[in-house]
Each structure stands twice: as structure tokens, then as C-alpha cells.
Structure 1
Amino acid sequence: MNYVIIGAGAAGVSAAKEILKNRDNGDQISIFTDENYPFYYRPRLIECLSGEVQVEDIIINDQQWFEDNNIDLYLNQKIIEIDSQNKLVKSEKDQFSYDKLLLANGSHCFVPPFTGVELDNIFTLRTAADLKEINKAAETAQKAVVVGGGLLGLEIAYNFAKADLDTTVLEVAPYLLPMQLDKKGGDLLEAKLKQNNVKVVTDAKTKGFKGQQNVEKVILENQEIEADLVLISTGVRSNTSLVENLDIDKNRGVIVNKRMQTSNSDIYAAGDVAEFNDKIYGIWPPSLAQGRVAGTVMSGGQAEFDGYVPSHKLKVAGINVVSLGELNKEGEFEEEILEDNETYVKVIKNKGEKIGALIVGQYSEQNQILADIKR
């Protein structure tokens, strides 16, 4: 059996590890990536912005591991076409046959139609190669602006500030993390970030960028902010270009069933490129889980993916944030504020029963509250 995996990230490598368990002597496993590094822990790339961690420190399985397990790893080899009729994948250099194919080629950063986005020193962060470019620019930069105040954007800004850059975050909503917090919680998080030398502008409608060759200013609807380094963190989109001309079901991602099979029974998908029950998760744990299911099923085993419930206990720029259960956005339930100073704690109740909670900061009774809600 000839197994081909496109993508050497969480989904692709976790699939390969499952195939190894069921592998017959003649089976071949080939993994293709357009990156220069083998399997690394992508969520920690952000930490590399502060200079405290290097890319080499976050590699999980190096090239030797792939060799030891008789897996053919093709670095810097981008697959540009899939011929499903003849069961071939093609790179710019060569073509390779498959019996079972896994699409684990991830996602790319979404960049809104800003003006001036072609200026130098404007970046997105998705790969180790992106990181190297950003760190090189950061060596001579003084003022960094992060466009997008979601979880990823805040982590990026925190690490820029730790690297002694004058850092500002732009969030289009009226307060930070509107999906996870209420205004009080968002405002307290903003205050705590300011204590960590991160400036925040909310209600920030970014229009574009100005400069000669390098970016010099970020243009908002009602002000301009000086910047010589900009990082855009406004979400991701699945890498579906490989399947555009294939007769395969797709929507925002490649549609899969519980066995991670696409509508073509010999092609599977997992991770950021896969859409399961109208969801694309875009985070590490479900990518690992989907990869394990795909690898098991591809190699003749039985497994199913039943979805993923994200953890609601977060560390946002080193600050404890909890968002769980009913957040009472419509104001139909009773609320009890337990702390409202350095720490903010709000519990939502329905007929006396705890059904939701928001916590920003450290709170000694946190675990008890979470246990009550989960019960």
C-alpha cells in the first residue's frame, strides 16, 4: 500500500504515526511539505517572536525520526496538482503515485482588502519561514502594530512587547475578546495588557497602510498610528486550491465524514483543511485527533471523529481567562459578580443553578465554580 500525505503538521504526522502501527512490510509512507522544517509545534511559534525560544527548540520529530521509521519526508516540495483519475500527486519537480491520499495541507492567513498591504515589513504568521522574516525585521523595528485582537493577536502583541518593541493592538470590536468575554471582562483584560506594555485600540476600523517602501503608518477610520512593523492576525482560511478542479465535495474546507473520508473514498482530509459537520476547527488538538482517525482508517482500522469541545480555560498573554457555559449575552438570566477589582468574576445562574462563568485574573475558587457548571 502506498500512503501519501500532503502536509507535515499535526494532522499529517499524527496520521503517519497511526499508519505505522498497522503497516505491512511493503507499505510506503511519503509526506510532502512546502516548509523547510520537519514536524514542529506550531502554536509555540508565537513565543519565538520574543527571542526566548528558537524554531529548533519546538521541533517535535526531526528528520532522523522520519528516517528511523522508514517514512519518506520531502521538505521544500510543494504539491501543486492532484490527478485523482490516475492516483498521482505532482510537485514542480516530480510526480508520485498513491493508493490512499491524505490532505493535511492546513490553512493560510486571511488578509482583508487593506490598501498598501504590499509595503515591506507587513506580515502574517503561519510558518517557521514567516517567523524568520518577522524576527529579521524586528531587529531594526521600534514600533509594532498587530491588526486583530483575537487570542492569537494578543499573544503576538505580548511577545513583541517582551522583545522591547513599542506595541499596539487594533481590535475592531468595542472591547477585547467579545466572543469569550463581556465588556467588563474585556476592559479588565485590556488594563492588564497595558501593565505588560501592550497598548490597545478598540473600535479600530483599519483601512490600510502608508509608507514609501517600508510601512510607516497604519491608517484607521479616525486616526493614524506610526509603525515600522505590522502583523495582520485576522483569521485563517483552509488551503483548498489543490482540490478546486477535483470532483470532491467542498465548501469552506474539504468536506469529510466521521472517518475523515472525503466524497472520494481513497482521499481523506484532516486538520485545518477539513470541514466536519460545517466546522473547521483551526486549532491544534482537533487536528491531532482528526489525523489519528484518518491514519487508522486509511490503514484498515476502525475509528471515528465525534467533534471537539474547545477548552475554555485560556492563558492570554500570561493572564488567566475563563469563559464557560452560558454567557448571558441576551440578559435573560441572573448574574452574580463575585470579584470586580484586580480580578473579575461573574457567575450566570438559572433558577439558582450555575450555568456559566467569566473569570479574568487569578481566583482561588475557580475550579469549584467550573465543576459546579459542568455538573
Structure 2
Amino acid sequence: MNEYDVIVIGAGPAGLSCARFSRKLNPRWRILIIRRQKKSIIPCALPYALDGTIKTDDCIKSDEKLLRSANIDLVIDEVESISCEDNSLAAKSGKSFGYNNLVLATGSFPFVPPIPGANLKNVFSIKDHPDILSILEIVEDVRKAVVVGAGFIGLELVNAFYNRGIEVNLVEMESVCLPQNLSSDFSENIKKDLEARGVKLFLGKVLKEIKGEEKVKECILDDGTKIEADLVVLSVGVRADVSLAQKSGIDVTQKGIKVNEYFQTNIQNIYAVGDCVSGKSFITGKPMNGFLATNAVVEGKFAAMNIAGKKRPFAGIINPAVTKIFDLSCGAAGFTRDAAEKEGLRFLSSDTEVYSREKSFPGAVPLKMRLIFDRDTLTLIGAEALSKENVSWIINMLSLAILNKNNARELAFMQYCGHPPQIDVPAKMPIVLCAVDVLKQAKEL
């Protein structure tokens, strides 16, 4: 039996991050990654292979050379059991491995609602490279598509099918697009843009049945509406893959594998990171999932540090995320205003609209932003942004401000750069404008 200092099960963003950071922390450790897939993928890139924005192979990461250069062993296999008592695991191939520290990075799987017809041909969910290849095999014959779920992936799929000249119908059980990602007034801009392009929206509706003989022909909604369809994509979220942990005696919750602030499970030398973990909110401390590759990369690094004895607690997630749907770039971090209201938080918020650069310069477009602050401490707890230009820079900046627990007093007087071809005039720095407005609301100015 081969013995390793660290074995990582799974090689998505969390697993790769943990293994590579472990190597940086200790060049002498024997490190092994075990994964089922021959190749790693870039999940967020998958929708863009459907309309030819990128090639399907661009969704695949060729990481074998990278791992070899880092002296990290890779085994393509499936772990069937873990023996916590003697620190060993058994793989489907019959091989067994011993470990000093084990990291579960088993990821997540698409949720398929239990509705009649979900197993018909031409009904898909999107999670891996083969899913895209299967759609591409039939997409030339598709005239009408139904996308179920108006989250980031769902809307990116709508964008891709539209670009291929396919008639697109979008079904979402909530009354707005991007219900988990933007407040309703911000997402209204996305809705109007979709409608203007002829995308048919069925918001506040639930898919009840998919009909067809061998392959899909129509979708039936809860109000009786019938939608013709040659293809259906279910994009209604994912679930943590806890099956291996559960049968190995590792504690799990409804949201994922239970870990402490050091990503340790109830077994001291077994850690878990990424989509398979039950996370917590940085702001409230309550259970919270964050199925994002960016979260996974950070969690992998924290686990590696704690395995190496450099104890550093993880404070929680704020789920910073951005996307671009047709011409509109949008994103958020922390609590949106709608989410803060739903959570019952006491907060103050401020909206502003400036230009992406000084308005006399070519390419200047409106940039809409909202900041949300804790009412009592004036600490930043959320941000939203929308523009026809890239908003990732401002969401990343505000994510750092949330994690640093910056307050309106600090942000109102922050120092910043300015250059007319790249950003609006100095008096219109949107972060400062919102922070000053909140100080006025709090009667501190």
C-alpha cells in the first residue's frame, strides 16, 4: 500500500488548490490526488462552448504536466471506501492507499427535480464537459429550447442558445431573474433586455412535466401553460456530494459535510473543502452554501495551511460573483438589499449611478451601484453593480472591503486613482458617493 502525507480526493478548484498550496508549504510531503475524470474542467466556461465563443476543448484544463512539475502524484480512479481507523482508503481498481491527512473535495452534482419526463432524450443538466458535447451533438436540429432556472448558468445558456438562432424560453419559479444574485430592481434591467431580444420569460412559474415519447416535445408549467421544446436544460442548482463522507462515518448536514473553521471534519486528520462542504456566512455566521470556484480555491488554501500546522481559521463566505448576459455585466458580494431584508438585517443602503469613464470619452456607459451597510456599526455587508462594462473590478474591491470590515466612515474618505479615459471624474467615485450618502442617513454628516 502506497503511503502519502496528504491525499486529496477530487481535483476541481478546491482539490487542486489544496494540493498545490500544500506543496508550496512543504516541499518534502508526498502528495496524491485521486479523481474520477481524466481531465479537469473549467465549469464556468461550459456555456460559452455552446455558441462557439470558445472551443469545447478550452473548457478542459491540461493539468497533468502542472502536477508533475509540482511533484504531485495523480491517480485516475474512484475511491469506494475510507477506513478512518487505520488511515487508509480503497479504490474501485482494487488499489489501496494510506494517508496521514485526507482532504475530501468531492464537489457537487446537478439537482434534477423529480418531475415526469426528466429522463427523456434531449433533457440535460450542465456540470461537466460531456454534458456540453451531448448538447452539441443535437443542437443543429434544435429550433426551440427551454431553460429552467434563471441563475447565472441558466442565463448564460439562454445567451448561448439565442446566439445560435434558437428560440429560447426561460422558466423560473421566482418572480425575477437572478433571484439569488441581485436585488429585484437591478435584475429588472436583465429582464427587460431579455424581453427586448424576444426571449420568452415564464417567471413565477414551476415546471411540472416534460412530455414526449422518446425525446422531449413540450413542457407543462404549473398554470397549465404548454411550451414546445426540442431541448430542455435543467439549471436549478446543485447539491453537495456527501455520499463518500456519509458512508465513512464523517458527519454531514443537509447542506454538506460538516467542518469547523479549520475545515476539519469530526475526524481530526480528515478535512473537506469546496462544494461538498456546509459553509457559513461571513456576515451572520449562519449556515450558507457557496457553490463557486472562487470560494473553493480559497478554502483549499486554508485547509492546506491548517494541515501544515499554520493554524488559520476561516471566517466564512461572502459569495462574490459576476456574469455578463448579452451586453450587461452584473455582480454582487455579501448581501444584496433583497437578501438583507429577507434575513431581517438592520441596514442602510445607498444607490448611485455614474459613468464607466468620463462621459465625453468614447465608450462611456452608465455604471449603477448599490452598497449595503449594517445600520448599527455602518460596516459594509453587501454590494451590487450593473453596467455594460466590466464590473468585476468593483465587486472584487468591495469584496475585500467586506472581508476587512470596512465601514462607511472609512470608505467615504478612501484614497483612489483617477484617469478620464478609464474612470469617471474624481468627484464621482461611486463607492465614495454611496458611503457619504449613508453617513448622511446616519446623521454623521
Query: What is the count of residue pairs matched by the alignment?
Result: 369
- Change in Cα spacing, 1:224 to 1:305, as seen in structure 2 (3 Å) is same
- Partner of 2:93 in structure 1? 93
SS at match of 2:324: strand
- Partner of 1:171 in structure 2? 172
- Partner of 1:310 in structure 2? 319
Question: Do 1:143 and 1:229's aligned partners in 2 also have CA atoms closer than 8 Å?
Answer: yes
CA positional deviation for 1:196: 4.5
d(CA) in 2 for partners of 1:333, 1:259: 33
CA positional deviation for 1:358: 6.0
CA positional deviation for 1:99: 1.7
- Partner of 1:242 in structure 2? 244
Match of 1:295 among 304, 323, 333: 304
d(CA) in 2 for partners of 1:168, 1:218: 10
- Change in Cα spacing, 1:346 to 1:3, as seen in structure 2 (3 Å) is closer
> What letter is aligned with 1:31?
I
CA positional deviation for 1:234: 0.7
> What letter is aligned with 1:244?
Q
- Change in Cα spacing, 1:21 to 1:248, as seen in structure 2 (3 Å) is same
- Partner of 2:159 in structure 1? 158
Q: Quick check: 302-311 or 260-269, which moved more?
A: 302-311
Question: Do 1:175 and 1:203's aligned partners in 2 also have CA atoms closer than 8 Å?
Answer: yes
- Change in Cα spacing, 1:276 to 1:80, as seen in structure 2 (3 Å) is same
d(CA) in 2 for partners of 1:326, 1:253: 24
- Change in Cα spacing, 1:337 to 1:304, as seen in structure 2 (3 Å) is closer
- Partner of 1:148 in structure 2? 149
Q: Quick check: 264-273 or 141-150, which moved more?
A: 141-150
Deviations 1:210-259 (A, max 9, x none): 00111111111221111111110111110001122333222121111222
Match status 1:43 vs 2:11: no
SS at match of 1:254: coil
d(CA) in 2 for partners of 1:326, 1:205: 24
- Change in Cα spacing, 1:137 to 1:78, as seen in structure 2 (3 Å) is farther
> What letter is aligned with 2:103?
L
d(CA) in 1 for partners of 2:336, 2:183: 12
Percent of residue pairs identical: 26
SS at match of 2:141: coil
Match status 1:14 vs 2:24: no
- Change in Cα spacing, 1:216 to 1:59, as seen in structure 2 (3 Å) is same
Deviations 1:27-61 (A, max 9, x none): 322212222313x3221122112222124324445
Q: Quick check: 239-248 or 113-122, which moved more?
A: 239-248
Question: Do 1:188 and 1:344's aligned partners in 2 also have CA atoms closer than 8 Å?
Answer: no
Question: Do 2:245 and 2:251's aligned partners in 1 also have CA atoms closer than 8 Å?
Answer: no
SS at match of 1:155: helix
d(CA) in 1 for partners of 2:315, 2:183: 30
CA positional deviation for 1:154: 0.6
- Change in Cα spacing, 1:22 to 1:118, as seen in structure 2 (3 Å) is same
**Gapped regions of structure 2 (runs ≥ 5):** 281-286, 355-364, 390-422, 437-445
SS at match of 1:231: strand
Match of 1:264 among 267, 286, 297: 267
Give 1:187-226 correspondences, 5 Å limit: 187-196=188-197, 198-221=199-222, 222-226=224-228
Higher relative contact order (CA 8 A, sep 6+): 1
Question: Do 2:369 and 2:430's aligned partners in 1 also have CA atoms closer than 8 Å?
Answer: no
**Gapped regions of structure 1 (runs ≥ 5):** none
CA positional deviation for 1:98: 1.7
d(CA) in 1 for partners of 2:366, 2:202: 22
Deviations 1:177-212 (A, max 9, x none): 234445544333112123445332212221010001
d(CA) in 1 for partners of 2:297, 2:181: 24
> What letter is aligned with 2:89?
V
Question: Do 2:39 and 2:61's aligned partners in 1 also have CA atoms closer than 8 Å?
Answer: no
Match status 1:30 vs 2:32: yes
SS at match of 1:154: helix
Q: Quick check: 64-73 or 113-122, which moved more?
A: 64-73
CA positional deviation for 1:146: 0.6
> What letter is aligned with 2:259?
V
SS at match of 2:429: helix
Question: Do 1:217 and 1:227's aligned partners in 2 also have CA atoms closer than 8 Å?
Answer: yes
TM-score of the aligned structures, taking structure 2 as reference length: 0.73
**Alpha-carbon RMSD:** 3.3
d(CA) in 1 for partners of 2:6, 2:19: 9
> What letter is aligned with 1:236?
V
Match status 1:70 vs 2:81: no
- Change in Cα spacing, 1:334 to 1:110, as seen in structure 2 (3 Å) is closer
CA positional deviation for 1:104: 0.4
Match of 2:229 among 223, 227, 230: 227
CA positional deviation for 1:24: 4.8
Deviations 1:260-314 (A, max 9, x none): 1111011000000112332221101110000011122223433332223233654
TM-score of the aligned structures, taking structure 1 as reference length: 0.86
Question: Do 2:60 and 2:129's aligned partners in 1 also have CA atoms closer than 8 Å?
Answer: no
Question: Do 2:279 and 2:317's aligned partners in 1 also have CA atoms closer than 8 Å?
Answer: no
> What letter is aligned with 2:265?
T
> What letter is aligned with 1:370?
I
d(CA) in 2 for partners of 1:264, 1:349: 39
SS at match of 1:159: helix
CA positional deviation for 1:172: 1.3
Match status 1:368 vs 2:429: yes
Question: Do 1:111 and 1:232's aligned partners in 2 also have CA atoms closer than 8 Å?
Answer: yes
- Change in Cα spacing, 1:133 to 1:322, as seen in structure 2 (3 Å) is closer
Question: Do 2:170 and 2:199's aligned partners in 1 also have CA atoms closer than 8 Å?
Answer: yes
